[in-house]
Amino acid sequence: MDPAQWMALLQQGDEEALEKLLTHYDGMLRYIAGGILEAPQDREDCLAQVRLKLWESRGQYDPERSSPATWLTALCRSAAVDRLRKARRQNTGELPETHPDPAPGPEEQLLQKERIQALERALNTLSARDRNLVYRKYYYLQSTARMAAELGLTERAVEGKLYRIRRKLQKQLGGEVL
């Protein structure tokens, strides 16, 4: 069986399919969580959260929109970033009651949506290699050292490439980017 078939079984409530999917993608999930979270316990908690989210949201998976690998990547990245934010919030403390709600209002949501669409269009103009660097740095939150080691480059070379990509995107978007 392949992952798409396991996802179909999982959507029907098959727990064995859940185990097979998680076993098949274990390395990928650990790689994603490890790039975002430093503490081993946080990574393990993140993977447990991915298991739970996968089971709870199995009915939301749409094979027309994404592959099982893409869907699991998004679940894992979101779980890792949520755990990272939670840890940072605990370190900084809670906001006082008088502090305004940090959630954006309707106008800000519309502006954010427009900025995201413009950034997506600009990213699509980049080469696949450059787009990959941007995703690794800003979506998967990988360190420059890790990227350099995995790509066989120096940290300085990776920093230089990212700098040039940012400058190119800034020119296209006319302002601050990334």
pLDDT tens digits along 55-66: 999 889 888 988
CA distances from 97 to 90, 102, 117 (A): 16, 12, 34
Higher pLDDT, 177 or 80: 80
Amino acid of residue 95: L
- Distance CA(107)–CA(126), nearest Å, equals 29
CA nearest to 134, candidates 168, 104, 93, 107: 168
- Residue 127 CB coordination number (10 Å): 9
Q: How confident is the model at residue 97 (pLDDT cuts 50, 70, 90)?
A: low
User: Of 1-15, 35-49, 164-178, where does mean pLDDT reach its minimum?
Assistant: 164-178
Check pLDDT > 70 for residue 93.
no
Q: How confident is the model at residue 23 (pLDDT cuts 50, 70, 90)?
A: very high
Q: How confident is the model at residue 157 (pLDDT cuts 50, 70, 90)?
A: very high
Check pLDDT > 90 for residue 112.
no
Average pLDDT over residues 102-122: 84
Q: Output the pLDDT for position 105.
A: 78
